[in-house]
Chain A
Amino acid sequence: MQRAERDLEFSEFYAARVRPLRRVAYVVTRDWHAAEDVTQRAFVKIYRAWPRIERAGLEAYARRAVVNESLSYVTRRPRDVVVDTVPELPVPETVETLDLGAALSTLPPQQRAVIALRFVDDRSVAETAEALGIAEGTVKSHTSKAIATLRRHVPTLAPDHSMRGLP
Chain B
Amino acid sequence: MTERDLSTMLRDHLADEPQLQRTGAEAIRTARRQTVRRRGLAGAAGVLAIAAVAAAAVLGPGGDGARDTPVAQDPPTPLTTLMESAATGAFTPYVGPLGDPRWTINTVLSDPVAAGDPSAQRYLLSYRPGGSTVQVNLSVGGYRPDEFETYSFATTCDYQLAEGVVASCETATLDDGSIVITTVAPRAQIGSDSPRMLTLEEAAKRPPGSVVWVRVVGLSTRDGMAVDASEYVRAADAESADWQVPVETLHALALDPVLRTADVAHEPVPGITGE
**A residues apposed to B, CB below 8 Å:** 3-4, 7-8, 10-11, 14-15, 18-19, 22-23, 26-27, 32, 36, 39-40, 43-48, 100-101, 115, 118-120, 122, 147, 150-151, 154, 156-159, 161
With CB as the reference atom, state the residue of chain A lying closest to B260. Answer: A7
List residues of chain A with CB within 8 A of the CB of B257: 3-4, 7-8, 11
Is B258 on the interface with A (CB-CB < 8 A)?
A: yes
Contacts of B21 in A (CB 8 A): 36
Chain B residues near A4 (CB, 8 Å)?
Answer: 256-258
The complex places the Cα of A103 from the Cα of B1 at a distance, in Å, of 15
Q: How far is the CB of B186 from chain A (nearest CB, A)?
A: 34
Is the pair A15, B176 in contact by a Cβ cutoff of 8 Å?
Answer: yes
The smallest C-beta distance from B174 to any residue of chain A, in angstroms, reads: 10
Docked-complex contact A11 and B24, CB < 8 angstroms: yes
Question: Which of B9, B14, B25 has the largest number of chain A CB atoms within 10 A?
Answer: B14
6 A-B residue pairs with Cβ-Cβ distance under 8 Å, sorted by A, are: A4-B258, A14-B24, A23-B14, A32-B18, A40-B26, A157-B6
Q: How far is the CA of A23 from the CA of B35 in the complex (A)?
A: 28
Tally of B interface residues using CB under 8 Å: 31
Is A157 a contact of B28 with CB atoms below 8 Å? no
Q: Decide: B1 and A120 in contact? CB cutoff 8 A.
A: no
Task: Looking at the assembled complex, report how far the CB atom of B257 sits from the nearest CB atom of chain A, in whole angstroms.
Answer: 4
Given the complex, which residues of A lie within 8 Å of B27, measured CB to CB? 10, 14, 40, 43-44, 46-47
Which residues of the partner chain B approach A161 to less than 8 Å between Cβ atoms?
A: 1
Q: Which residue of A lies closest to B18 (CB)?
A: A32
Q: Which residue of B lies closest to A39 (CB)?
A: B22
Contact between B3 and A119, CB atoms less than 8 A apart: yes
**Residues in B whose Cβ lies below 8 Å from that of A15:** 24, 175-176
Q: Which listed residue (B11, B17, B24) contacts A32, Cβ 8 A? A: B17
Q: Which residues of A contact B258 (CB under 8 A)?
A: 3-4, 7
Residue of A whose beta carbon sits closest to that of B23: A14
Closest Cβ of chain A: how far from B239's Cβ, in Å?
Answer: 35
CB atoms of B10 and A120 under 8 A apart: yes
With A44-B30, A48-B35 in contact, do A120 and B24 touch (Cβ < 8 Å)?
no
| Contact across chains for A43 and B24 when beta carbons are under 8 A apart | yes
What is the CA–CA distance of A3 and B35 in the complex, to the nearest angstrom? 14
Q: In chain B, what residue has the closest Cβ to A151?
A: B1
B254 to chain A: closest CB distance in Å? 14
* Residues from chain A with Cβ under 8 Å of B5 in the complex: 157
The 8 closest A-B pairs by CB, nearest first: A14-B24, A7-B257, A47-B31, A43-B27, A119-B7, A11-B24, A44-B31, A40-B22
Q: Nearest-CB distance from B6 to chain A (Å)?
A: 5
CA distance A150 to B5 in the complex (A): 12
Residues A150 and B6 in contact, CB atoms below 8 Å apart:
yes
Q: Determine which of B10, B26, B31, B176 lies in contact with A115 in the assembled complex, contact meaning CB atoms within 8 Å.
A: B10
